[in-house]
Amino acid sequence: MPDILSPLVGTVLPLSAVPDQLFAQGAMGPGVAIDPPAEVVDAVAPIDGTLLQVFPHAFVVVADDGLAVLVHLGLDTVQLQGQGFTAFAAKGDRVSAGTPVIAYDVPAIRAAGLSSVVPVVVLERSADEVTVVSAEGADILPGARLLSV
């Protein structure tokens, strides 16, 4: 069972706590959310693979076996048109787990009145295929085991 590592520092929350219906109901896929501290943090690749998508506010990493993980930095952050985000990698890049992908300016997101919570979702898998390894409410560091598939 491959491990999915935490893409950033913060506190682990259940997806149901995310103030967005699609994520909270698991419509995007199973996973968890991370509530980051009020500072600029690096969002890193949660698995080894290729960056399928890199937006200013989100990225998807696909492993060689097809496992795909979405890291969505904040909610409704697409409307910021890249403000508060600095990309270190681009679509098509090969990354190892722990490779910085995007710098995330949490204070800027909160100042814009948006939620800074970060859903980490396993795409195209059912909830019974994904196990949450980290306890809800636990503090987590980048690279720590978060999910298992």
- DSSP calls for 73-125: -SSSGGGGTTTTEEESS-TT-EE-TT-EEEEEEHHHHHHTT----EEEEEET-
Distance of alpha carbon 18 from alpha carbon 10, whole angstroms: 14
Best CA proximity match to 3, nearest among 69, 59, 74, 89: 69
Is 72 a catalytic site residue?
yes
The active-site residue out of 32, 44, 45, 72 is 72
Q: Which residues are catalytic?
A: 72
